[in-house]
């Protein structure tokens, strides 16, 4: 149905349909919602569906927190008054004001610094915020939806995510299953993307059952986003008749070969501890990694955190603990 809140989510999977029912059941709620799931599963589409199901009059306002420093994110979210910082020649409303009576969607919530998390917690609890450079409190009744592909419990244990904010966000929680757990949706999704690509390329190929069966054997680390790219690539290479099975097979072979090469490299590589007579403790090994990463990053915590695969706030917290323990 065209007027359904879920019209943009292509699925017939039972788990997904049950989630739709849960979304409808909380449609009247103004409490925050946390949406988790791997990259490419469609978290923003779910956020839009939640917004539409609530029948609010205001806008759906998305913000991606990834890569934004504290001041930029705070300015984006809360706005600023004239003179708040160099170049702030006039007042600017933030996205909180824009989302009033609607929905504010915060993507990549796990990337937020601890200081911004404090401000977000106040926004969630009191519906209040202060624009940069102002001591006057503003109010908003925007509903907060947040999404992440990170493990917030792990971030919390590492000191990179506030426990009170974590619990507050989980008033309502939806974890979107990866594509490999909803393989029955592959024919629907392929045909949907085929329709889209056909309009763009002005071609009209079709997919065969062999293509569906092949795709159901693949793990899709990039989920639905990866499947869409595969279909568009196949349509771009299409000549006549059915889509080429070889195009899909070649892509999957390349991806699997990359995985094999990475695994072999990991197995064949000499362990950095192979020359140690006595193994370090987990704590010691972690400290060695942190120190080495900070050396290689020339003291830049953001760069070092990327090397270590953790957030910058988590690294900062770990460095503080190491300093105290010395």
Tens digit of each residue's pLDDT (9 = 90 or more) over 42-86:
999 999 999 999 989 999 999 998 877 788 888 899 988 888 888
Select 183-268's CATH number: 1.10.8.60, 3.40.50.720, 2.40.50.100, 3.10.20.340: 1.10.8.60
> Cα angle at 167 between 164 and 168, to 5 degrees?
80
Looking at the chain, the domain(s) classified CATH 3.40.50.300 span 14-177
Rounded to an integer, what distance in angstroms lies between the CA atom of residue 279 and that of residue 258?
Answer: 31
Residue 106's CB is within 10 A of a number of other CB atoms, namely 25
CATH topology of domain 14-177: Rossmann fold (3.40.50)
Quick one: average pLDDT of 176-189? 97
Rounded to an integer, what distance in angstroms lies between the CA atom of residue 132 and that of residue 75?
Answer: 6
Q: Is pLDDT at 265 greater than 50 in this prediction?
A: no
List beta partners, residue 105.
62, 145
CATH topology of domain 282-325: Arc Repressor Mutant, subunit A (1.10.10)
Q: Which of 136, 177, 249, 244 is nearest to 9 (CA)?
A: 177
Rg of the chain in Å (alpha carbons): 24
Q: Is pLDDT at 270 greater than 70 in this prediction?
A: no
274 pLDDT tier (thresholds 50, 70, 90): low
For 138, the enclosing helix (H) or strand (E) is: strand 138-139
Rounded to an integer, what distance in angstroms lies between the CA atom of residue 256 and that of residue 98?
Answer: 45
Q: Is pLDDT at 321 greater than 70 in this prediction?
A: yes
Mean pLDDT lowest among 45-49, 209-213, 275-279: 275-279
> Is the whole-model pTM more than 0.85?
no
Looking at the chain, the domain(s) classified CATH 1.10.10 span 282-325
pLDDT of residue 11: 97
Looking at the chain, the domain(s) classified CATH 1.10.8.60 span 183-268
Looking at every residue in the chain, the average pLDDT score rounds to 88
């Amino acid at each position: 149905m065209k007027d359904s809140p879920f019209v943009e989510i292509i699925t017939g999977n039972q788990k997904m349909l049950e989630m739709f029912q849960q979304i409808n059941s909380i449609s009247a709620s103004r409490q925050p919602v946390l949406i988790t799931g791997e990259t490419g599963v469609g978290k923003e589409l779910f956020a839009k569906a939640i917004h539409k199901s609530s029948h609010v009059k205001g806008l759906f306002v998305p913000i991606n927190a990834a890569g934004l420093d504290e001041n930029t994110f705070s300015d984006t979210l809360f706005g600023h008054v004239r003179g708040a910082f160099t170049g702030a020649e006039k007042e600017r409303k933030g996205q909180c004001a824009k989302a009033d009576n609607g929905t504010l969607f915060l993507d990549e919530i796990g990337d937020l610094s601890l200081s911004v998390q404090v401000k977000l917690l106040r926004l969630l609890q009191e519906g209040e915020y202060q624009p940069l450079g102002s001591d006057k409190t503003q109010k908003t009744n925007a509903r907060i939806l947040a999404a992440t592909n990170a493990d917030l419990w792990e971030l919390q244990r590492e000191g990179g995510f506030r426990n009170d904010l974590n619990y507050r966000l989980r008033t309502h929680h939806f974890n979107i299953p990866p594509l490999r757990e909803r393989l029955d949706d592959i024919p629907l999704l392929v045909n949907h993307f085929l329709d889209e690509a056909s309009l763009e390329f002005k071609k009209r190929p079709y997919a065969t059952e062999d293509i569906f069966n092949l795709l159901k054997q693949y793990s899709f680390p990039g989920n639905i986003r990866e499947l869409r790219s595969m279909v568009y690539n196949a349509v771009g290479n299409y000549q006549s008749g059915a889509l080429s099975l070889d195009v899909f097979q070649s892509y999957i072979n390349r991806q699997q070969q990359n995985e094999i090469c990475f695994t072999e490299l990991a197995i064949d590589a000499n362990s950095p501890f192979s020359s140690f007579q006595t193994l370090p403790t987990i704590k010691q090994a972690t400290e060695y990694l942190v120190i080495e990463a900070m050396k290689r990053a020339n003291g830049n915590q953001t760069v070092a955190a990327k090397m270590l695969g953790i957030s910058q706030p988590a690294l900062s917290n770990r460095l503080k603990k190491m300093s105290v323990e010395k």
